[in-house]
Structure 1
């Protein structure tokens, strides 16, 4: 016996008898065979318990197992192309660690409110499990990228004394005899850090007190903010482009199955995230939007796309612009009045900030803002 192993490494033990510690994800049975779907956090494997292999008493005990019961399974690892992962376990023994009672998340459809009320259990579902595994890879890819490119991680404070992105979206909290705010951005701290290290970055939670309930608004999200002491706008665009290609490539390499089979995500748009990205100025973007307004017969869209120089793009503008391209779009040189005060002005036209927004396709909008 090779001892307890993880399902993710089961392929290394073909022909061996092993122990698996996990939970009963699902099961089905006939009179003489029971098929157990066992998960351990690293994967799911089918464990086949035959009446002739385990005996009548053990077979009856296995039949009593409930969804999400904690179990220890002993059996022989065999290759089987029909099984998910290409392997299954021929069971010789099942030990009950703890019997689960009245597990609430069953095969039937459940509403969002119900699932959110049971979110601590919902994490065990394949979809939530896949999302968090992909996030894990993405977070590591982000940290690896900046580490490999000579950036120093400088954590910015979560509690701050003032606003960075505007006072209307601040979360305030009592701070002894005064008031502190949950951080909107680590930008200003990184500007100081870059003067010490040349290249620095922070990566952590960010808070915005926005009540809008859309996929483009979150009260808490994680944001990475790199800062470079000596870099022009062209270098900034190159960095953003290389960064996105690197981290998306890492996710595709490691999670194609989760993306396609579990999350039902069309990965073709992600695979098109390759250099070079199209780059257009704010002025050129306005011209494209004017052309779309002229061409469209949809009065609602025509009204949504109305914009004058000096105004920032909204969701309809960004969505229509990205429809013309098959990969992220970089729009640079925005009006200074719609950008943060720390954005450098253009030497030839002080009305313009040397800035860039990277707009993702499929209506996701701005995923990177810099300058």
Structure 2
């Protein structure tokens, strides 16, 4: 018997195949049983007709329990009513393991219960769809940067210093000295860009930020490209082309998953480069006109401010040229205005907030040294970083995209805790 997976059944229409699967759900009506099967690659309905199978097969289908593992054999048929487009007319069923009292039933469950059972909740259609979209974004990321001539570089997770200060870092002992879990690989990626030209990293980052909002995780993944000889405008162009690429890739390759989640794909179809942009100055004026009397020049934007700005656009929008005082020490000042830097945050539509932060980096040795002094950072710890400006310094730029916020926006889920397999939150380190 030919063995296959649910995602490949389109190759076997009107043929009999065997699939290893789990019983996601089932129902029966006397002479017919419907098995909702999943195998990790997708979901398909298995139809068991009492009059067409041996009695033991039909009784097995009626008695098999939710999340039991099985080998199911049957004929693949086209089915217009199925979201997947196919169903299986079952001829044989072998139970591998009978599950007993599976805790996540088809009824409604509270968030805390589902989070306590995250290792099982991942099996649900909704969570399966989100994880498949996450996987497609990762695949499309590698595709984009490989096609653009970038090299993948892996920065360290344990660092001796912090690119944006140590107030929100997890500290640990590294034998007899202090170390921190990385909050960004950016500084190391700058060193790599001086060696390889265009580089990107993709890895975990950690923020000891005591936040409980729907946009925050303690541990999350970032894509961080850095590019030698790229100035501010070059950087924005890469960002919008990259984001447009991953959105269009999800639309093309995850249509079933987007439908499962009830995502309005018309909104995603509008996400093509170029993206609109406004300056920080313009954003402040816009917010004040919208009734945000609390916001003044020099203030950072919160979630309500970002959402109000994003609502005026049907694509992600860049907010550029933030005040120097709001941004990290390494950002290049605007040559025409020293009070702002050549940076941009990319704000996703529909209230999902900032998904990218990026800037042109300071490439002048003396200016970077001055900034380190102003931020009271340890000059010895940053000696290697300063040396990048001593030996063939060039204009260079980069950015960081938060994977989980991007997954949340593209898939349309409300909270980032659903966009990572095992979320680490302020009150959660289990499972």
- TM tier relative to shorter chain: over 0.9
Residue in 2 that maps onto 1:52: 51
Give CA-to-partner distance per residue, 1:9-40, whole Å, 9 cap, x none: 11111121111111111111122221211111
The reply to whether residue 222 of structure 1 matches residue 210 of structure 2 is no
Residue in 2 that maps onto 1:336: 324
Residue in 1 that maps onto 2:350: 362
For residues 57 and 241 of structure 1, the distance between their equivalents in structure 2, rounded to whole angstroms, comes to 58
Residue in 2 that maps onto 1:285: 283
TM-aligned CA deviation for residue 69 of structure 1: 0.9
Question: Matched residue of 1:352: which SS?
Answer: strand
Give CA-to-partner distance per residue, 1:194-249, whole Å, 9 cap, x none: 11011111111110001110022211111111111111211111111111111111
Correspondence 1:242-281 to 2 at 5 A: 242-259=241-258, 261-281=259-279
Give CA-to-partner distance per residue, 1:301-354, whole Å, 9 cap, x none: x34xx2332222222222222222221111211111111111111222222211
Correspondence 1:167-316 to 2 at 5 A: 167-259=166-258, 261-293=259-291, 302-303=292-293, 306-316=294-304
For residues 52 and 122 of structure 1, the distance between their equivalents in structure 2, rounded to whole angstroms, comes to 36
Residue in 2 that maps onto 1:70: 69
For residues 353 and 32 of structure 2, the distance between their equivalents in structure 1, rounded to whole angstroms, comes to 52
- Whether the 8 Å CA contact 2:159–2:181 is kept in 1: the answer is yes
For residues 202 and 61 of structure 2, the distance between their equivalents in structure 1, rounded to whole angstroms, comes to 47
Question: Matched residue of 2:210: which SS?
Answer: coil
For residues 95 and 181 of structure 1, the distance between their equivalents in structure 2, rounded to whole angstroms, comes to 51
TM-aligned CA deviation for residue 94 of structure 1: 0.8
Correspondence 1:36-185 to 2 at 5 A: 36-185=35-184
CA gap of 1:31–1:349, structure 2 versus 1, over 3 A, is closer
For residues 55 and 345 of structure 2, the distance between their equivalents in structure 1, rounded to whole angstroms, comes to 66
Residue in 2 that maps onto 1:298: none
- Greater RCO structure (CA 8 Å; 6+ sep): 2
For residues 233 and 172 of structure 1, the distance between their equivalents in structure 2, rounded to whole angstroms, comes to 33
Residue in 1 that maps onto 2:428: none
**Farther off after superposition, 127-136 or 324-333:** 324-333
Residue in 2 that maps onto 1:347: 335
- Whether the 8 Å CA contact 2:48–2:91 is kept in 1: the answer is yes
Residue in 2 that maps onto 1:299: none
For residues 83 and 284 of structure 1, the distance between their equivalents in structure 2, rounded to whole angstroms, comes to 49
**Farther off after superposition, 23-32 or 192-201:** 23-32
Question: Matched residue of 1:193: which SS?
Answer: helix
Residues paired across the two proteins, number: 359
For residues 32 and 313 of structure 1, the distance between their equivalents in structure 2, rounded to whole angstroms, comes to 61
Q: What 5-or-longer segments of structure 1 have no aligned partner? A: 294-301
For residues 268 and 61 of structure 1, the distance between their equivalents in structure 2, rounded to whole angstroms, comes to 44
CA gap of 1:348–1:79, structure 2 versus 1, over 3 A, is closer
TM-aligned CA deviation for residue 59 of structure 1: 2.1
Give CA-to-partner distance per residue, 1:78-113, whole Å, 9 cap, x none: 222233422222222111111111111111101111
TM-score (normalizing by structure 2): 0.80
Question: Matched residue of 2:162: which SS?
Answer: coil
TM-aligned CA deviation for residue 62 of structure 1: 2.6
Q: What 5-or-longer segments of structure 2 have no aligned partner? A: 360-431
TM-score (normalizing by structure 1): 0.93
TM-aligned CA deviation for residue 153 of structure 1: 1.0
- Whether the 8 Å CA contact 2:33–2:48 is kept in 1: the answer is yes
After TM superposition, the runs of 4+ consecutive aligned structure 1 residues lying more than 6 A away are: none
For residues 298 and 76 of structure 2, the distance between their equivalents in structure 1, rounded to whole angstroms, comes to 66
- Whether the 8 Å CA contact 2:241–2:274 is kept in 1: the answer is no
Question: Matched residue of 1:26: which SS?
Answer: strand
